């Protein structure tokens, strides 16, 4: 028997045993490398399977099979009721008034903010969300905490409930999907009319995300372009929805924001980590027609750098005034500076480098769509303050 000493602990090992362990090590290493290779092959296969079948699978599980139900239009006075709003200045427990530690909401806001929340209805039982759907309303309130809250330093925030189109409406081109979006947009218009009567003569900030940004882009075309109200718009944050510079922007009533101190203009961006694969977004976008009747295929998109507030430039992570990092249960978040860079690239996508670890909500293609606001929460807040100051001057 031979005594082997390891870290001061005496252990009896047969010499033959040591030889066997030495022989096993190469075999174990080879097996480990085989396992790694197999996992890599499986990951690549899964990636190609998603590219080939992912949208089809999503459609099968998310697109409603029921026929579209033509619901009555929203009455003109519906949004006079407080419970038709997820956020409004006099609403208790207003989710848009949330702030991370170290930041406070304004107690005397100057502007009035109209915010349209993104899709929070995921059910395939109907094409449009019932206004009393608890899950959809809870998710919408969560979105307001991470998105609309960026504006509570300068404005009183109104965010309506609306019969939003379900998530599956964005995965198909059937007529029912268009009808569902039109129904949702009708609610948004009714809420906007009420908002204008509530806002008085204050400067106005318009903002939305995803489906909310889609409705906001239509609202700009229908209710702002060529109207006196355009002179009251500090800025419109049409975030998480592509805007064609040539096929959409000329009909939307406001120009693209080119400078950080410009007012009466439109900001827009879509966030991607790298390496990015935006094909699922661009393929759909390129198959559509813009507001002026021309095809969007191949056209450049509006890209505002949310860190600088300028059109089409780049900024290092050090210039980022704060990204919201959510807690595991999504009930709170901390604001961390200097974590995420941004640069506009190509046709108008916003690249953020490798991208931070924000949980399981990054979409295929390294798409940080869910985090378009929270990645730059501190800078969006500062941007709204800067533009409102310039508007007042």
Q: How does pLDDT run across 135-189, given as a tens digit for each residue?
A: 999 999 999 999 999 999 999 999 999 999 999 888 888 899 999 999 999 999 9
Query: What pLDDT is stored for residue 332 in this prediction?
Result: 86
Alpha-helix runs per DSSP H in 200-289: 211-219, 279-286
Query: What pLDDT is stored for residue 383 in this prediction?
Result: 98
Query: What pLDDT is stored for residue 50 in this prediction?
Result: 46
Query: What pLDDT is stored for residue 44 in this prediction?
Result: 38
Query: What pLDDT is stored for residue 330 in this prediction?
Result: 76
Query: What pLDDT is stored for residue 65 in this prediction?
Result: 82
256-262, long-range: CB < 8 A, 24+ apart: 256/302, 256/304, 256/311, 257/304, 257/309, 257/310, 257/311, 258/310, 258/311, 259/309, 259/310, 259/311, 260/308, 260/309, 260/310, 260/383, 260/386, 260/387, 261/309, 261/386, 261/387, 261/390, 262/387, 262/390
Query: What pLDDT is stored for residue 200 in this prediction?
Result: 93
Residues of the chain with pLDDT under 50: 1-34, 36-53
Query: What pLDDT is stored for residue 364 in this prediction?
Result: 86
Query: What pLDDT is stored for residue 58 in this prediction?
Result: 64
């Amino acid at each position: 028997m031979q005594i082997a000493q390891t870290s001061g602990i005496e252990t009896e090992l047969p010499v033959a045993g040591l030889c066997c362990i030495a022989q096993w090590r190469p075999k174990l290493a080879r097996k480990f490398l085989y396992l790694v290779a197999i996992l890599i092959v499986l990951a690549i296969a899964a990636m190609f399977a998603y590219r080939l079948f992912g949208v089809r699978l999503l459609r099968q599980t998310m697109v409603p099979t029921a026929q579209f139900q033509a619901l009555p239009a929203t009455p003109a006075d519906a949004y006079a009721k407080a419970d038709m709003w997820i956020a409004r200045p006099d609403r208790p427990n207003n989710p848009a008034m949330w702030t991370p530690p170290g930041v406070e909401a304004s107690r005397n806001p100057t502007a009035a903010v109209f915010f349209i929340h993104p899709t929070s209805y995921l059910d395939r039982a109907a094409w449009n969300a019932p206004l009393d759907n608890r899950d959809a309303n809870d998710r919408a309130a969560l979105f307001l905490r991470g998105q609309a809250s960026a504006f509570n330093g300068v404005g009183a925030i109104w965010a309506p409930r609306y019969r939003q189109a379900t998530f599956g409406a964005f995965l198909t081109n059937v007529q029912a999907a268009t009808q569902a979006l039109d129904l949702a947009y009708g609610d948004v218009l009714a809420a906007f009319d009420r908002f204008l009567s509530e806002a008085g003569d204050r400067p106005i900030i318009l903002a939305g995300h995803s489906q909310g940004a889609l409705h906001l882009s239509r609202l700009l075309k229908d209710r702002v372009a060529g109207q006196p109200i355009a002179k009251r718009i500090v800025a419109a944050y049409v975030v998480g929805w592509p805007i064609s510079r040539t096929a959409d922007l000329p009909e939307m009533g406001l120009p693209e924001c080119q400078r950080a101190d410009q007012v009466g203009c439109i900001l827009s961006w879509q966030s991607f980590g790298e390496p990015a694969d935006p094909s699922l977004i661009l393929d759909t976008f390129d198959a559509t027609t813009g507001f002026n009747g021309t095809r969007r295929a191949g056209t450049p998109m509006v890209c505002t750098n949310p860190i600088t507030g300028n059109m089409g430039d780049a900024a290092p992570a050090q210039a980022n005034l704060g990204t919201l990092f959510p807690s595991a249960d999504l009930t709170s978040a901390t604001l961390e500076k200097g974590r995420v860079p941004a640069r506009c690239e190509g046709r108008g996508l916003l690249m953020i480098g490798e991208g931070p670890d924000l949980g399981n909500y990054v979409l295929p293609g390294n798409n940080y769509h869910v985090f378009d606001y929270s990645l730059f929460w501190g800078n969006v807040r500062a941007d709204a303050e800067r533009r409102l100051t310039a508007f007042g001057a």
